């Protein structure tokens, strides 16, 4: 039986905005090096960014009927997150469905399957992160479910978790941790700004990173 569910626990706009200020790399480090999706999932254009609540959907491999249903029921700003069994040999999303997403104000797509029409997707500017680029078509056969926990890119993603993506990759932030992760990310950026200022002031990377004692303990010998 198929179940179409909406996101029952949705982050507030303030929670999404708080997290959106930071890059996925900063967020990943700030939240204890957690939440990074597989680096195999890439944006179709390096300029693409996304941040919003996950609208999760399970699709059978080489089948995009549930993806189309997800687009139909997703809310503006949602990031559609597709779990399709890491099936690379299918182009389950292209420019036609991207236009449908844009018309609804959907915030982006993340899929562990393939997409196609990448030139048009770049022109449209709709953020798409995929496991592959593939021209092979799909069927519309298997009904499953939306907004259940899924594993995509090696990470467990719950409906309403916040997905952040840019040219470097994707990270997931638990909805209930959003403000704390934003606070930690801000602190990390401030620390990094201090490192950069120290380098510009003439300090070495060993001084800035407090590596002298560590290197000595590991027996580093610097020869003239």
Q: Is 117 annotated as a binding residue?
A: yes
* SS3 state of residue 176: helix
Instruction: Determine how many CB atoms are found less than 10 A away from the CB of residue 92.
Output: 29
3 state SS for 101-119: HHHHCCCEEEEEEEECCHH
Q: Is 95 annotated as a binding residue?
A: yes
Q: Is 116 annotated as a binding residue?
A: yes
CA proximity to 35, closest of 221, 186, 185: 185
Residue where the block lists tokens 């056969």 = 141
Q: Is 170 annotated as a binding residue?
A: no
Residues 6+ apart with CB under 8 A from 150: 56, 57, 58, 81, 83, 156, 157
46 beta partners: none
* CB distance 178 to 27 below 8 Å: no
Rounded Cα distance between 27 and 181, Å, is: 7
Instruction: Determine how many CB atoms are found less than 10 A away from the CB of residue 170.
Output: 28
Q: Which two tokens stand for residue 201?
A: 């002031």
Residue where the block lists tokens 């992760």 = 181
Annotated binding site: 94-97, 116-117
Return binding residues for Mg(2+).
117
Annotated binding residues for substrate, written as ranges, equal: 94-97, 116
């Amino acid at each position: 039986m198929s179940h179409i569910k909406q996101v029952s626990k949705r982050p507030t706009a303030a929670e999404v905005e708080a997290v959106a200020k930071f890059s996925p790399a900063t967020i990943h480090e700030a939240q204890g090096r957690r939440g990074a999706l597989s680096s195999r999932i890439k944006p179709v254009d390096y300029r693409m960014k996304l941040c919003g609540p996950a609208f999760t959907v399970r699709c059978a491999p080489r089948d995009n009927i549930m993806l189309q249903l997800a687009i139909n029921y997703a809310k503006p700003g949602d990031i559609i997150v597709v779990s399709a069994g890491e099936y690379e040999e299918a182009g389950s999303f292209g420019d036609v469905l991207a236009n449908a997403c844009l018309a609804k104000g959907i915030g982006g797509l993340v899929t562990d399957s393939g997409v196609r029409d990448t030139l048009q997707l770049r022109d449209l500017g709709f953020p798409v992160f995929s496991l592959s680029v593939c021209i092979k078509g799909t069927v519309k056969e298997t009904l499953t479910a939306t907004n259940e926990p899924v594993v995509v890119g090696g990470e467990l993603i719950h409906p309403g978790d916040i997905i952040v993506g840019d040219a470097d990759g994707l990270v997931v932030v638990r909805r209930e941790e959003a403000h704390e992760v934003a606070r930690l990310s801000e602190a990390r950026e401030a620390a990094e700004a201090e490192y950069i200022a120290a380098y510009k002031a003439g300090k070495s990377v060993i001084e800035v990173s407090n590596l002298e004692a560590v290197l000595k303990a590991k027996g580093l010998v610097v020869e003239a």
